């Protein structure tokens, strides 16, 4: 999972952008004590975000882009989403999800540090972004919500949490709920972290290097074909040495976000019925999946598209979960058409 973020950061093309993009400064919104779906409270809750472009006078040209698993709004910037989003027309708001180390997270909370931090859900991430938009930015309607990986998962949650709040939804390699295969992988990953002696049940003094978790992330990010094509057998020892010295972001943050993804299911309020969840979707939807995705199985998203008048784009690449690329003409065109209208 970490690797998918790292590889995504490398997918920087040289194609035309809609405008000159200077890096935006990190901003924060204070939400006070934030009550979670579980009833627990994040004390002194903060949500990070970055803005590209300007809101119009009606404040209805915003496009929200939640961060992916383990990634921050700053990381999303490196994929250059403005190659598909015209920021001379739209206001792109990239939001930091809970647990990314920028918004409120186990790693940066002084009052609820580490394992003392309350567990949050994907729905809680969405509600924090809703509060940011409405209470802090004065936005009562978005043009679109779109995101990659866990950002796509959050986009699916936006579809049912606030169905009338946006005109367009574009989840990219996301899922309305994890498949059985996904749950196997995510729980293995969580168990590897929790069972590592260096993790110390989350009470470590210094963020540890958890080699098996890093290995599992990289193993799952693409496909066997991609691994064989891009890494020779002779270079395996070099890769292994690099993995053994890889410094990551905070492992409590990773674990909390992983558990949020494990618990995700947009059909939960509808008695487990995906059809009923789909009946609540009001926005136009473009679902982008990756056929060879080994991290977020595409089947739940593809099946959900059949319950809606949604457009579906299935990428077929041995890059697997990291197949999305704003330089990909097919993907970029599909996004532009969805945003601009048929």
> How far are the Cα atoms of 88, 245, 302, 323 from residue 215, in angstroms, in the given order?
41, 12, 29, 20
SS3 51: strand
Confidence of residue 20 (pLDDT cuts 50, 70, 90): very low
Range 8-12 contact pairs with CB under 8 angstroms and sequence separation of 24 or more: 8/68, 8/71, 8/75, 8/78, 8/79, 8/148, 8/149, 8/322, 8/324, 9/75, 9/78, 9/79, 11/79, 11/322, 11/324, 11/325, 11/326, 11/327, 12/78, 12/79, 12/80
Say what the pLDDT of residue 30 is. 98
Taking residues 252-280, what's their average pLDDT?
98
Asked if residue 9 has pLDDT above 60, the reply is no
131 in any annotated domain: yes
Per the structure, the complete domain to which residue 175 belongs is given by 2-181+255-340
Instruction: Render pLDDT for 190-207 as a digit per residue (tens, 0 to 9).
Output: 999 999 999 999 999 999
Confidence of residue 251 (pLDDT cuts 50, 70, 90): very high
Q: What percent of the chain has pLDDT over 70?
A: 93
Cβ–Cβ under 8 Å, residues 176 and 281: no
SS3 74: helix
Looking at per-residue pLDDT, the higher value among 12 and 297 belongs to: 297
Q: What percent of the chain has pLDDT over 90?
A: 92
Among 202, 243, 195, which residue's Cα sits nearest to residue 219? 243
Confidence of residue 149 (pLDDT cuts 50, 70, 90): very high
218 in any annotated domain: no
Instruction: Render pLDDT for 67-120 as a digit per residue (tens, 0 to 9).
Output: 999 999 999 999 999 999 999 999 999 999 999 999 999 999 999 999 999 999
Instruction: Render pLDDT for 306-325 as a digit per residue (tens, 0 to 9).
Output: 999 999 999 999 999 999 99
9 in any annotated domain: yes
238 in any annotated domain: no
Asked if residue 61 has pLDDT above 50, the reply is yes
208 in any annotated domain: no
189 in any annotated domain: no
Say what the pLDDT of residue 13 is. 30
Say what the pLDDT of residue 23 is. 57
Asked if residue 4 has pLDDT above 70, the reply is no
Asked if residue 22 has pLDDT above 60, the reply is no
Say what the pLDDT of residue 246 is. 86
Cβ–Cβ under 8 Å, residues 285 and 251: no
Into how many domains does the chain fold?
1
222 in any annotated domain: no
Taking residues 31-42, what's their average pLDDT?
98
Taking residues 206-232, what's their average pLDDT?
96
Write out the H or E segment, with its range, that includes residue 46: strand 41-52
65 in any annotated domain: yes
Say what the pLDDT of residue 18 is. 58
Confidence of residue 15 (pLDDT cuts 50, 70, 90): very low
Write down the pTM of the prediction. Answer: 0.93
Q: Whole-angstrom distance between the N-terminal and C-terminal Cα of the chain?
A: 35
**Residue 145: which CATH number?**
3.40.50.1820
Look at phi and psi of residue 39 and say left if phi exceeds 0, alpha if psi is from -120 to 50, else beta. Answer: left
Say what the pLDDT of residue 341 is. 83
d(CA 41, CA 32): 10
């Amino acid at each position: 999972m970490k690797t998918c973020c790292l590889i995504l950061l490398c997918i920087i093309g040289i194609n035309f952008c809609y405008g000159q993009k200077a890096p935006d400064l990190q901003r924060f919104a204070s939400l006070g004590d934030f009550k979670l779906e579980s009833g627990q409270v994040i004390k002194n809750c903060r949500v990070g975000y970055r803005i590209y472009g300007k809101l119009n006078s009606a404040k209805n040209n915003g496009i929200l882009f939640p961060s992916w698993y383990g990634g921050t709004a700053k990381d999303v910037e490196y994929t250059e989403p403005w190659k598909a989003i015209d920021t001379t027309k739209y206001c792109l708001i990239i939001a930091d999800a809970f647990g990314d180390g920028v918004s409120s997270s186990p790693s940066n909370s002084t009052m609820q540090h580490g394992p003392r931090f309350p567990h949050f859900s994907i729905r809680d991430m969405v509600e924090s972004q809703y509060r940011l938009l409405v209470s802090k930015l004065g936005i009562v309607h978005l043009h679109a919500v779109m995101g990659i990986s866990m950002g796509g998962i959050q986009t699916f949650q936006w579809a049912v949490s606030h169905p009338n709040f946006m005109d367009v939804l574009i989840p990219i390699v996301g899922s309305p709920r994890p498949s059985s295969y996904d749950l196997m992988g995510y729980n293995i990953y969580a168990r590897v972290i929790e069972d590592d002696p260096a993790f110390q049940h989350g009470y470590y003094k210094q963020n540890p290097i958890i080699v098996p978790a890093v290995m599992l992330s990289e193993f799952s990010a693409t496909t066997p074909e991609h691994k064989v094509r891009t890494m020779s057998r002779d270079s395996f020892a070099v890769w292994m040495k690099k993995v053994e010295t890889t410094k990551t972001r905070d492992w409590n943050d990773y674990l909390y976000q992983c558990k949020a993804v494990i618990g995700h299911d947009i059909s939960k309020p509808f008695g487990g019925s995906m059809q009923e969840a789909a009946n609540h979707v009001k926005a136009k939807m473009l679902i982008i999946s990756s056929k060879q995705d080994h991290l977020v199985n595409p089947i739940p998203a593809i099946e959900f598209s059949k319950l809606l008048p949604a457009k579906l784009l299935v990428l077929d690449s041995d890059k697997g979960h990291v197949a999305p690329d704003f330089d990909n003409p097919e993907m970029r065109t599909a996004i532009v058409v969805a945003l601009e209208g048929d």
